[in-house]
Amino acid sequence: MEKTSSGIPLKDKIDTYIRKVLMKPRKKIGNMPICPFVKKYLDKIHIVVTEDYEKTLTTACELLHPLHLEAVVIGGPMMDYNKVRKIVKKFNKKYSNRDIDILHMGPDSEEPPLPFDYNFKDSPLIIVQRTSTLENARKILEKNTKYYDYYK
């Protein structure tokens, strides 16, 4: 298992990031977490550490629905933001008709949409998730909260 410079396995760092950063309510966004629905689906999110993003993305995209997962979070070696974006764009195009949406962030990501920095610093993260779940969550947030009012 790949370890970070702190000696902590990358998979454990990603899990902690999801639980302590993405799920934590924030005063700056109305006491909502960065990802308001992560807690609901936590048991259906799989974390993978890889040396080969493209190979792992293929596997994640092919197995997301058969394994009844909501998301797969992929971490691995450092890679330039634009290279990650290019890979994600290619896979989004390939899987666009399969209820799959792929997002990414990295230590060198552009300014986040919310009013504070929450980038994961130890690795790029590529998130493969169900488009239908993401769209439904967005509709609920738009209708019932002020979440998107906080976007820059």
**What's residue 5's pLDDT?**
57
| pLDDT tens figures, 76-113 | 999 999 999 999 999 999 999 999 999 999 887 776 77
pLDDT averaged over every residue in the chain: 91
CA–CA distance, 78 with 36 (Å, rounded to integer):
27
**What's residue 82's pLDDT?**
92
